[in-house]
A and B are shown apart, each in its own frame.
Chain A
Amino acid sequence: MSAASLNDVGDLADVRDLADVRDLADVRDLVDVRDLVVDFPVGDGHVRAVDGVGFTLRAGQALGIVGESGSGKSTVAHGLLGLHRGTGARIGGSVRVAGVDAVTAEGEELRRLRGGLAAMVFQDPLSALDPYYAVGDQIAEVVRVHRAVSRRGARARAVEVLDRVGIADAARRSRSRPHEFSGGMRQRVLIAMALACEPRLLVADEPTTALDVTVQAQILDLLHELRAETGAGLVLVTHDLGVVAGSVDRVLVMKDGRPVEHGPVAEVLGTPREPYTRALLSAVPRVDAPEVPGAPAGLAGPARTGRPGGTAGGDVLLEATELRREFATRGVTRRTAPVTAVDGVSLTVRSGETLGIVGESGSGKTTLGRMLVRLLEPTGGRLHYRGRDIGVLGEKDLRPLRRELQMVFQDPVSSLNPRRTIGESVADPLRVAGESDERRIRARVGDLLERVGLDAGWYHRYPHEFSGGQRQRVGIARALAPRPRLIVCDEPVSALDVTTQAQVVELLGELQRDLGLALVFIAHDLAVVRQVSDRVAVMRAGRIVEQGDADSVYDSPRHAYTKGLLAAVPVLDPVEATARRHARLASAGT
């Protein structure tokens, strides 16, 4: 630092005269983003990912950036740490974080910004950590980048922050490698890494997306607590409006790279001004209300009102008794304890009704769903379809029955063959059934495509030409093609954006009403399941812990696990969300 520059600081009055007055006024803003524009190179040209985003954030405040996929929300978050350097992206506008210009900072200053002033909590906690090193060493490494401490001191700090984020027995666990932790614990480790150098800003990019709802609540509570404790600012990026409700002070809603609405969380979620925000909010399924306000009659709406109690109605189609499924963990010859995925499940599905199955990851719900349509063979128990035991049938005997039991899959990418036209995919069940008249096949496929809201003329298009929601519609058309009696939907909307989600759910409801289908709706999202189901079964560790009429399960859960699940569901009302957090903390304290 030269004498001249010291003088400059002394002549504050002169500086004020020369410089933009706003700059000094905003010094207390921790984050100041103005007119941010990010262009990514694509082929020969550029694609604008972020277009004119601006916001400020003060220390101790939290900002939620919300948007659907492709809205540019993660790009903004990455821009706060100057992470677009070296990727070929063009940045316009200004980004200042704790006095550092993230767009132009170089060398030492940039390194200080990254981790020292602002720290990022990444999304996928498994791949975001180096698989080869113990987590304690990885945190210690980050500490030593920013602080002149001994190896030992850095290691001690690592244990300290691990302990702070709630890793039990932190000193010992700090010597474990990432794959030895569960998903939630890994996310805690990532948060610990972010805390390590006491940054003034935490940037969390979808920190809870890969996690179950109960773990999600814990992580959000932890972030909230840490912010209160350290006075750091928080930028929380998420697609889930429920996540921001209880966690931030202000919300920025983004769409296609542009800011849509920006304001205090209670205002944006409570009295949204922009139509897009309203649409987004109305599309969110609510766990506390059976009907979506504003949306047309939801799935099975009339059916439910027509059949109070929900269990009455059609004949029993499918009946599972003590159904079990074990998986051998390794080859045939080696004996290792098999994993029990489904452990004695009994349920019935009647024609025309929707049975919802909720459970967290690993609960066995997918395995159960696949057994119900006999993609998997049960290893125990009985499975009756219209009085016939189909649990023991071989592939050949099953074939004539196949068309009556169909499935809609979770992943719209892998559920359609990328090398066949969607028309061919939908026509497949017809051809297999022996239909060979090309004209009739075309006509029927056209009808089906129109039925699910697609254009009949799209027969010859390939899956990659469609969006996720459209592909899911194709998948539904294919399931409908053989005129089934029952369709198992395995997480049919979990890969979709919330507005698309609502549309697909609505379509399923319509179809069920019109065609009198029985549906088994499997999902991890309690709200979606409530919205669609007449009856609900809650699964945990391969068993059904609670089963019954949807309203009674949700409104007066009997099992403790169901209660815990429901308490962890994020709600859209900020006041309610805060109240729930306090309730959770209180119950954790006792």
Chain B
Amino acid sequence: MAPQEPRTGVAPAASPAAGGRQVWRRLLARRAVLAAGLVIVLLALIAAAAPLLGAVEGQDPTSYHNDLLDSAAGGVPTGSLGGVSAEHWLGVEPGTGRDVFARLVHGARISLLVAVGATLVQVAIGVLLGLAAGLGSRLLDQLIGNTTEVMLALPSLVFAISLMAVVPSGFPRPLLLTLVIGLLGWAGTARLVRAQTLGLRQLDYVAAARLAGATRWRIARRELLPSLAAPVITYAAVLLPSNVIAEAGLSFLGVGVRPPTSSWGQMLSGATTWFRADPMYVLLPSALLFATVLAFTVVGDAVRTELDPRAAARLRVGTARGTAGPTADGPAPGTGTPGTGSPGPSGATEEATA
């Protein structure tokens, strides 16, 4: 036992910068993570090469093929499995006869672009505001803190739906989706970064940097950002799949991308009327969406266990524990929801000198 347990506001991260390569190696060593990584790479390739893939098949995502539909049955594709044929590898869309394969691969573009773009927007705004709140004056902190609380209180899905509806239709839809999801979802990151910054700021090495004469900006860059990287990446890894779902959800509700642009959510929205007659049309985009989100979640989960020593420590049981400092109020251990806004166990107030 150390004579006096060191008091740390933020548990020091186990793996420093040098451990970066080890983290990669360990991640790749896990088969599920490796598989998920491959799925993501594959999806990215598909998205990038969507027009090419369509050309290989000889179809495009927007042409109608009424001749392939059974008008007597209300527009269900003729042939088995939703009209699968040598020309249409995965069949055609009920009601319109558009090529399902072409629409799916083009849908991957929207899904990935919007999700990644929105995550970047969220993280950029969140880190910037969180740092400003954590390092700035009390007034600035309160201002940003309150704004964050209001943003968290916004019913974001409702807001997103409404926003998507009132913005003039001339605005490019994928960009609008990215912005709406991004601008409505930064509060969790901001709160996390603020809490972390406030915790880190208490640490003696930041005081040492001040004594060295470092400016605020230098402290933020040199001392704080490296330590913030791990929790922010972890959080972003959780945001990414939820943004995929958000895009699909908005398109499903008919306020996302507009036809003729295709998106998985939009295809599913059409599927609600066709699921009895043409189950294939439901299952294909569902499966793709599932695979995408699952792959992102698996990778995100692995990144979290590698980068967040506290999450890993939580899962260890035993009587002899190391120095687990009082946890800073990071994000709730739940998956998607950022913090609960609860005061936390702040019970025994230590004297101000501590």
Contacts and interface: CB of A to CB of B under 8 A. Distances in A.
Complex A–B touching at CB under 8 A: yes
Interface of A: 40, 69, 73-75, 78, 83-84, 87-88, 123-124, 126, 131, 179, 205-206, 209-210, 239-240, 327, 329, 331-332, 339, 341, 361-367, 370, 373, 375, 395, 399-400, 402-403, 405-407, 409-420, 425, 428-429, 432-433, 462-464, 468, 475, 478-479, 481-482, 494-498
Interface string B1-36: 111111111001110111000000000000000000
Nearest first, the 3 closest Cβ-Cβ pairs linking A and B are: A415-B204, A429-B212, A327-B352
Interface in B203-251: 203-205, 207-216, 218, 222-223, 226-227
A482 B205 CA distance: 16
Nearest to A501: B3
A494 B4 contact: yes
Contacts of B14: 464
B203 to A, nearest CB: 4
A407 B347 contact: no
B6 A420 contact: no
Contact of B212 (A124, A403, A413, A420): A403
A399 B216 CA distance: 11
B1 to A, nearest CB: 6
A409 B207 contact: yes
B319 interface: yes
Residue from A409, A468, A494 with most neighbouring chain B CB atoms (10 Å): A409
Contacts of A332: 138-139, 142
A432 B320 contact: no
Contacts of A496: 3
A179 B345 CA distance: 11
A583 B205 CA distance: 45
6 contacts: A87-B318, A407-B207, A409-B208, A414-B7, A417-B227, A475-B208
B140 to A, nearest CB: 12
B354 interface: yes
A482 to B, nearest CB: 7
A399 B213 contact: yes
B320 to A, nearest CB: 7
B353 A432 contact: no
Contacts of A363: 353
Contact of A361 (B203, B212, B214, B351): B351
A35 B197 CA distance: 50
Nearest to B145: A331
A74 to B, nearest CB: 6
Given A87-B320, A402-B210, A428-B214, A366 B353 contact: yes
A341 B213 contact: no
A209 B17 CA distance: 35
B227 A415 contact: no
Interface string B153-195: 0000000000000000000000000000000000000000000
B348 interface: yes
B223 A339 contact: no
A411 B8 CA distance: 8
Given A365-B353, A402-B210, A419-B226, A414 B18 contact: no
Contacts of A84: 319
A73 B215 CA distance: 46
Given A239-B3, A341-B352, A462-B16, A416 B205 contact: yes
A428 B209 contact: yes
A375 B210 CA distance: 8
A464 B11 CA distance: 13
Contact of B13 (A131, A367, A373, A419): A419
A496 B5 CA distance: 10
Given A131-B347, A411-B7, A40 B320 contact: yes
A96 B214 CA distance: 60
A417 B205 contact: yes
A123 B347 contact: no
A332 B214 CA distance: 27
Contact of A375 (B207, B213, B354): B207
A496 B320 CA distance: 20
B210 A240 contact: no
Contacts of B139: 332
A543 to B, nearest CB: 13
A472 B223 CA distance: 19
Contacts of A428: 208-209, 212, 214, 222
A85 to B, nearest CB: 9
A414 to B, nearest CB: 4
B8 A417 contact: no
Contact of B351 (A126, A341, A410, A414): A341
Contacts of B318: 87-88
B226 A410 contact: no
A494 B17 contact: no
A239 B1 CA distance: 8
Contacts of A478: 208, 212
A231 B12 CA distance: 45
B142 to A, nearest CB: 7
Nearest to B224: A417
A495 B5 CA distance: 7
Nearest to A400: B213
Given A339-B352, A420-B226, A462-B16, A432 B214 contact: yes
A400 B12 CA distance: 31
B239 to A, nearest CB: 23
B165 to A, nearest CB: 39
Nearest to A327: B352
A210 B214 CA distance: 35
B223 A417 contact: yes
B3 A497 contact: yes
B213 A402 contact: yes
Given A83-B319, A240-B3, A409-B207, A464 B213 contact: no
A417 B213 contact: no
B256 to A, nearest CB: 40
Residue from B142, B211, B345 with most neighbouring chain A CB atoms (10 Å): B211
A418 B12 contact: yes
Contacts of A463: 16
A173 to B, nearest CB: 16
A413 B6 contact: yes
A366 B12 contact: no
A341 B213 CA distance: 26
A93 B218 CA distance: 57
A495 to B, nearest CB: 5
Contact of B6 (A40, A367, A411, A462): A411
Given A240-B3, A413-B12, 18 more contacts: A40-B320, A123-B1, A327-B352, A329-B352, A339-B351, A361-B353, A362-B351, A363-B353, A410-B204, A411-B8, A414-B6, A419-B13, A419-B17, A419-B227, A428-B222, A468-B2, A479-B211, A497-B2
